[in-house]
A and B are shown apart, each in its own frame.
Chain A
Amino acid sequence: MKPFGYVAAKDSGHAVALLAEYGKGAKVLAGGTDLLADLKNSPHPPPDVMVDISRAADLKGIALTDAGLRIGALTTHTEIVDSPLIADTLPALAEAAVVIGAVQTRNLGTIGGNLMTCVPSMDSGPTLLALDAQVTILGPSGRRTIPLSELFVGPRRTSLGFAELLVEIVIPKKNVGKPSAFQKFGLRKGQALALVNAAAGFWGGDGVFAEPAIALGAVAPTVIRAPKAEAWLAGRPISEEAMAEAGRIAATEAKPITDFRASAEYRLDLIAVLVKRALAGAHARVTPNQKDLAS
Chain B
Amino acid sequence: MDKNQSLMKLSKVSKVFLKGSVDEVTALDNIRLDVGAEDFITVIGSNGAGKTTLLNVISGVYPPEKGGKITINGQDVTRLSEHKRARYVSRVYQNPHIGTAAKMTVEENMSLAMLHGQSRGLRIATNKKYRELFRSVLAPLGLGLEDRISALVGTLSGGQRQALSLVMATISKPSLLLLDEHVATLDPKTNRIVLELSEMIVQKEKMTTIMVTHNMKHALRYGNRLTMMHKGKIIVDIHQEKKSNLSVNDLVVAFEHASGERFSDDSIMLRNADS
Q: Do A and B bind each other?
A: no
